[in-house]
Amino acid sequence: MSQSYDRGLIEDFGRWKEFSAGMWAWVLHKFSGWVLIGYLFTHIAVLSTATVDGATYTNTLQGLEELVVVRFLEVGLLAVAVFHILNGLRLLFVDLGIGLESQDRSFYASLVLTAAIVVASVPTFLEGVF
């Protein structure tokens, strides 16, 4: 019987500023998961050149690797993958009921660790680009 009022945006994701750790973790985990599965499809597509012949495969791969964009995308992929793995581990622990009290800290830890790993591997990834 409610004479309800639609508060529209205030209601739904308009409140993102007030999101807490767990919510961000969820958003980012989703995002990273989708990127990864998307990448898996692309990846197999690219590797499919191997079915043509060895040279095409080598050319394609090396050709791609020469593109700066691809190199940067790879760093992004790494970030996404590392975060998904770390937060995935966090989620696995949460599922086992371990360390629930420090769930927010473990989320921040995954972020920090992801950043650290990404920064640390930039030299390797971007080697030879510039």
Residues interacting with ligand HEM, by CB under 6 A?
29-30, 33-34, 36-37, 40, 84-85, 88-89, 91-92
Check residue 63 for interaction with another protein (CB under 8 A).
no
Question: Under rule CB under 8 A, which residues in 79-108 are in contact with another protein?
Answer: 81, 85, 88-89, 91-92, 94-97, 100, 103-104
Q: Which residue is it, tokens 């975060």?
A: 83
Query: CB-based contacts of 103: which residues, under 8 Å, 6+ apart?
Result: 21, 22, 90, 94
90, exposed or middle or buried, with CB in 10 Å at 0-12, 13-18, 19+? Answer: buried
> Under the criterion CB under 8 A, does residue 121 sit at the interface with another protein?
yes
In order, the DSSP letters of 33-50 are HHHHHHHHHHHHHHHGGG
123 binding partner (options ligand HEM, another protein, none; Cβ < 5 to 8 Å by kind): none
Residue 44 site contact among another protein, ligand HEM, none (CB < 5 to 8 Å, cut-off depends on kind):
another protein
- Shortest approach of another protein to residue 110 CB, angstroms? 13
